[in-house]
Amino acid sequence: MRRDGKTAPSDLQLKIVLHGTRPPLWRRLVLPSDTSLGTLHDAIQVAFGWHGGHLHLFTDEFGREYGDAARLIDIAPDVGHGVGDEAATALGDVLAAEGARLRYVYDFGEDWEHGITLERTLPCPVGAERTVRCVGGRRADVPAEDIGGVWGLAEVLECLDTADGAGDGPYGELVAELRVAGYDPAAFDRDGITARLAQLTPDTVFGAAELPNGERAGRGGVRRLTAEDVALCTCGQCRAGDPFDVGVGAPDGDVPVLRPVTLAPREELLAAVRVAPLFDAALRLAAWCREGRQVTAGRVLRPVLAREAVEELQLWKLAGDDSPYADAVARARALKSLRSAKDAAVLDDPWWLAVDGGMITIGGGRARGGATTDFADEDLLEFWATTMGDLLEEIGETGVLDGWHGELGELTAEIAGSLVGLLYDAPDDTWVDAGDLRAKSREVGANGPEFELFQALFAASFRELGDGLALLGAVEYEPGDGDASPELALRTLLNAMGGQELGGGSGTSSAASDRSWDDRRGDRMRLTPLGRYGLRAHLMECGVPAPLLGEYAEADAAALLQGLLGYSAEEMRREVEGWLEHRSAADAAVGLLDACAGDGPEAAAKRAMAQLVLGDLDDPRALRVLRKAADSDVEGCRQVATATLGAHPGAEAHVDPARAEEAGLWLLIDGLSPLAGAGESEELVRGFLENWNTGPEALEQRVDELWRVEHPATAQVLAELGEGLRGVDRRLAKRMRTAANKAHSRQ
């Protein structure tokens, strides 16, 4: 990525989200990969409207920190020592692969935290001008600094949205100034941001940066600010000792690789957005406002118009069957008592969706929209995906039950997150049934009051999640025959258990249903093609690998072999078939064998996968490539080619059986080598037993030959197998340890 005379730099597309903002405030920037983190700092300041009056700090996924090292050391040595110099660190060195993440905190007192994700690596045309540009985003710049962080920002925006504003409160003067200036928090000025970014000149970092060692904090570690940190900020609100999380929000441990999926044609997705209940309502509202409708100072329809919109556009259909809007008489009564458009969720939700999406613009006391055909399909689909992502982010932070906090709120977030994962993992057109999930939990013998509480939380979370996703057209949702309000049943159960009612509301009910959870037909939902598209986009944005079937069709062999590692046999077959359609059999064999060269766990995994793919190549030209590779001196390629030829039934692929057996033993050790040295003998044994050409029976016949295998990991693999197999076959384990000693003697 760097300009080192060997490779040209690329452009990096970054999504930068200001954490804690609702709706999310974010920017999508493109910068050269060989520019510095210092340039990225300057770009963030411009893109979000910061003024540069406070300190800042970058933190990568490994806890390594970067910033203005000299200034930090001079003013806050406790923070500055060990911090890498952002001016000498190339962006491409820190964000080296798509999905990589970085954290940027501005102002140690208010902790404006930005999450940075590398979305795409883009080719940079030869001779292209080095620029920093904005290619997407949402919401207006932060209107001011030193307002109390994201909490203060939320209060300022709330004041802007009310008729009397902040009055004489702490934000009164700021709110008045913003109103005079016509500040619109929903307005995103991409052209203006790009124009300001054009004044930046990206610097160039030559060669690889020396990264800080990151010893002070690992991923997700926490340290505390010192008094010196406080002296850096001019806001006067910094508090010594406040925790400063140096993680980037990424989960610990391995990131799961999800099963590959297929997506519906784009035309089908675009059509589905327009009929998604919430978007359909927003588009109809926009058309209804085409000639202009009067709005209040709070930027919502006047009450009389709100009542008219709900009836004329039948927005009441967005409410559930248990809503007062479902019955005509109750609806008329509810609308008659309506004092503000904000009080009717069936209007408020699609209204702000239309305003945020640019379907409705507000100015001069009037709201103006357009016909549904006025909105470009691509823009609408992108906005839908953003809305879906915002909902999933909110679910992950606060759960799906309004007003529930503390441990119960966190538990509903975990439940909802697990359900989202189940939805994505389910095959197309497969229902996720709450009743089936309850039955499975019963099978493990769980019971008691705590389990009943969990069941109630689960039921309430399932229904709220289904309702929310159904409004976006992301799922088909069918309620079961349980309580009309699982949340009410949950509150009743809490009261019966003597627990504190945490969600607010009355919390009173006649009684919970006497029927067991297992006697009820549960709610169920299944992902729609549009929902799969949106959920995959969100997962990819979060750095979770979410592959598509067919996405490797034009990739090189190395990328194909790496990508196939998480595929089932059927998925692998379909992916390989698509890949082979784009190249000749001979070219495929050459590419696969070239990918087999190299050392280390990644190369060993590719060799194991290459054998499976090459074994299906029957073309005579591919077999000629294999025979040539079998006679080469390239370690790894030679063994894969020889073993593949040895397993081929055709006479034209003939290879000496002894050579084929030798290559097979080498590949056996090679396949186990990534596990050797992990310190987990159980894992090693499991990998060995699951290997396609091994097992205790096969090992019995080979153990006396394995020590002769000319592989750098032979002795280590045999020794660890000898230890790990003690609980499987003590006699065999002893023979493995003996073989390991022989292998050590040969080294």
The tens digit of pLDDT for each residue in 351-380 reads: 988 888 888 988 888 999 876 656 667 778
Cα-based distances in Å from 342 to 20, 58, 295, 303, 328: 23, 40, 12, 9, 21
DSSP 212-227: ---TT--TT-EEE--H
640, 659 Cβ separation under 8 angstroms:
no
CA distance 438 to 507: 25
Contact between 492 and 221 under an 8 Å Cβ cutoff? The reply is no
To which residue do tokens 């985003």 refer?
Answer: 137
Strands 56-60 and 65-67: antiparallel
Residues of the chain whose pLDDT is less than 70?
Answer: 1-8, 73-81, 125-127, 163-168, 207-257, 321-322, 371-376, 397-398, 402-407, 409, 441-449, 482-521, 541-543, 651-653, 675-700, 747
Instruction: Name residue 103's beta-bridge partners.
Output: 59, 115
Instruction: Output the 3-class SS for 117-134.
Output: EEEEEECCCCCCCCCCEE
Question: What is the C-alpha to C-alpha distance for residues 335 and 321, in angstroms, rounded to an integer?
Answer: 17
Give the position of tokens 């619109």.
184
Which residues are CB-contacts of 613 (< 8 A; sequence separation ≥ 6)? 560, 561, 564, 576, 592
Fold of 11-139+188-245: 3.10.290
**In whole angstroms, what is the distance from residue 119 CA to residue 100 CA?**
8
* pTM score: 0.59
Q: What pLDDT was estimated at residue 717?
A: 83
Omega of the bond leading into 256 within 30 degrees of 0 (cis): no
Angle, to 10 degrees, between the axis of helix 730-746 and the axis of helix 714-724?
160
Instruction: Please report the pLDDT score of residue 193 as a whole number.
Output: 93
384 to each of 191, 262, 268, 362, how far by Cα in Å? 22, 19, 14, 21
SS3 of 103-164: EEEECCCCCEEEEEEEEEEECCCCCCCCCCEEEEEECCCCCCCCCCHHHHHHHHHHHHCCCC
The pLDDT, as a whole number, for residue 427 is: 87
Q: What is the pLDDT of residue 231?
A: 39
Distance CA 363, CA 385 (A): 27
Burial of 300 (0-12, 13-18, 19+ CB in 10 A): buried
Q: What is the rounded CA–CA span in Å between residue 315 and residue 325?
A: 9
- Record the tokens describing residue 320, joined without a space: 């559930």
Nearest Cα residue to 653 out of 678, 671, 628: 628
The type of residue at 117 is T
